Amino acid sequence: MSDVLILGAGMAGLGAALALQARGRDCVILDRTGPGQETSHGNAGILQSEASEPYALPRSPISLLRMALGEGNALSFDPLALPAQAGALLRYWMASHPARYARAAALYHQLISTALGAHAPLIAAAGADNLIQRDGYWEAYRSERALDAAETTARRMARTYGHPYTIFGSESLQRAEPAVTGKLAGAVLWSGPWRASDPGGLVQAYARLFEQRGGSIVTGDATTLAPHGAGWKAGGVEAEQVVIALGPWSPALLRRFGYRVPMVAKRGYHMHFKGAARLNRALVDAERSIVLSPMRQGLRIATGAELSRKAAPHPRQMRRGEKAARELMDFGPPLEKAAWSGTRPCLPGMLPLIRQAPRHRGMWLHFGHGHQGFTLGPVTGERLARAMTGDISAIDGLDQGLH
């Protein structure tokens, strides 16, 4: 029997497994596919050390309406999907109240500000340096007005959290990124963040490190999870304790054990495109809510959030995102026939859920990393491992949102 069975081999699962292993725990990871094949593969690849403030819902009815009408392509939704998410969205809106939001952001900042420090030794030990660029990303704007507002925000973020940034005007941005031929007013260069040129590849490198250090990864179905003696069993693996790190699939499993976790499932899409013109850094087209990320596979265009019941075969956000990106630079045809889609596991309180399940001994939860789980997996994994090995204060404030 192993000490800990970790369900899910995304960035959250690997982050937890490596941190537990470092504390002497004998761990097995179970996944139905393989490491880094799902959300932790399909993201924009930015290790977002500047994202100290999580995404809140706008509080004013006008801003909410604009968002709902698809302004800026940030959000698209299927009205039929709303009833299923109404409770979670209401909680999200309530948690976005300035006083509650400030408390969540303070804790979020603590996590984000230590995230690169948690990745660094893993990247080095996994020999994954070739996948990492350490020169930040562009938050680009089309209009002068939006750029001015972004500069004000950047100044506040620098003053409050110390995040380094530089403002580039249209011409200096063009010199730095000659592949961008479309008209931009300029950009905020956030120079602190890092970027992975193959996000799934980074998770797979962490998985190899976990195995080299004595861990094992097995293929199996987490929905077979059941109590077994004094411990747990799933997919034929027995362990004293279990960690649920199934990202967007976690609430469905927990429901079977009588727990209700409202989740705002924000779907995102991406496609890769062929093309000679290359960006030097990832570029967020902030007014069109797309990220253009140079990846090993080609230019990856990733979209904003879609609230829908199932992935659209011809997603509107992806079509609009591709069109917007083509206004900025020249690139070739898509490399895939259909867009990839995945779901950001967003909890209404905007913080990941890390705690022991209140009514099940030895069951721990580690999911709900929302928009920044690729960044946060190792640092919250560290917090979880500290809590599981006796320092329960490590997860103070991260235990909300379970009913």
Ligand X SMILES: Cc1cc2nc3c(=O)[nH]c(=O)nc-3n(C[C@H](O)[C@H](O)[C@H](O)COP(=O)(O)OP(=O)(O)OC[C@H]3O[C@@H](n4cnc5c(N)ncnc54)[C@H](O)[C@@H]3O)c2cc1C
**Cβ neighbours, 10 Å, residue 157:** 19
**Cβ neighbours, 10 Å, residue 26:** 15
**Range 219-238, binding ligand X (CB under 6 A):** 221-223
Helix (H, G, I), strand (E, B) or coil at 366: strand
Q: Say how far apart CA 351 and CA 398 lie, in whole Å.
A: 7
**Contact residue for ligand X among 19, 28, 38, 95 (CB under 6 A):** 38
> Which of the stretches 36-44, 80-88, 210-218, 322-330 binds ligand X when contact is defined by CB under 6 A?
36-44
- Verify binding: residue 389, ligand X, rule CB under 6 A: no
Which residue shows structure tokens 């250090």? 213
* Segments in 229-351 forming alpha helices (H): 250-255, 316-328
CB of residue 87 to ligand X, shortest distance in Å: 21
CB 136 within 8 A of CB 76: no
For ligand X, the closer CB: 241 or 289:
289
CB of residue 119 to ligand X, shortest distance in Å: 10
Q: Say how far apart CA 245 and CA 377 lie, in whole Å.
A: 10
**Range 135-164, binding ligand X (CB under 6 A):** none
What residue ranges in 91-246 does DSSP mark as E strands? 132-133, 137-141, 165-169, 186-190, 194-196, 216-219, 226-228, 231-234, 237-244
**Contact residue for ligand X among 44, 88, 180, 188 (CB under 6 A):** 44
Residues paired with residue 217 on neighbouring β-strands, in sequence order: 29
Those residues whose C-beta lies under 8 Å from the C-beta of residue 18, and which sit 6 or more positions away, are 122, 206, 209, 210, 213, 378, 381
**Contact residue for ligand X among 119, 300, 320, 369 (CB under 6 A):** 369
CB of residue 99 to ligand X, shortest distance in Å: 26
Record the tokens describing residue 355, joined without a space.
């705690």
- Verify binding: residue 40, ligand X, rule CB under 6 A: yes
- Verify binding: residue 316, ligand X, rule CB under 6 A: no
For ligand X, the closer CB: 30 or 354:
30
**Range 250-309, binding ligand X (CB under 6 A):** 268, 270, 302
- Verify binding: residue 200, ligand X, rule CB under 6 A: no
**Contact residue for ligand X among 88, 246, 379, 385 (CB under 6 A):** 246
**Contact residue for ligand X among 4, 5, 9, 19 (CB under 6 A):** 9
Record the tokens describing residue 124, joined without a space.
């080095």
For 321-362, the DSSP string reads: HHHHHHHHB----BSSSS-EEEEEEE-TTSS-EEEE-TTSTT
For ligand X, the closer CB: 302 or 388:
302
For ligand X, the closer CB: 5 or 154:
5
For ligand X, the closer CB: 30 or 185:
30
CB of residue 268 to ligand X, shortest distance in Å: 3
- Verify binding: residue 119, ligand X, rule CB under 6 A: no
Residue type, 327: E
Residues paired with residue 94 on neighbouring β-strands, in sequence order: none
For 53-101, the DSSP string reads: SPPPPP-SHHHHHHHHTTGGGSEEE-GGGHHHHHHHHHHHHHHTSHHHH
- Verify binding: residue 374, ligand X, rule CB under 6 A: yes
- Verify binding: residue 8, ligand X, rule CB under 6 A: yes
Which residue shows structure tokens 């139905």? 32
- Verify binding: residue 37, ligand X, rule CB under 6 A: yes
Q: Say how far apart CA 191 and CA 176 lie, in whole Å.
A: 14
> Which of the stretches 45-53, 61-69, 236-244, 311-319 binds ligand X when contact is defined by CB under 6 A?
45-53
Helix (H, G, I), strand (E, B) or coil at 186: strand
Give the binding-site size for ligand X (rule: CB under 6 A). Answer: 42
For ligand X, the closer CB: 281 or 371:
371
For ligand X, the closer CB: 21 or 372:
372
**Contact residue for ligand X among 344, 363, 364, 382 (CB under 6 A):** 344
Question: Which residues contact ligand X by CB under 6 A?
Answer: 8-13, 30-33, 37-40, 42-46, 48, 221-223, 245-247, 249, 268, 270, 302, 342, 344-345, 367, 369-375, 377
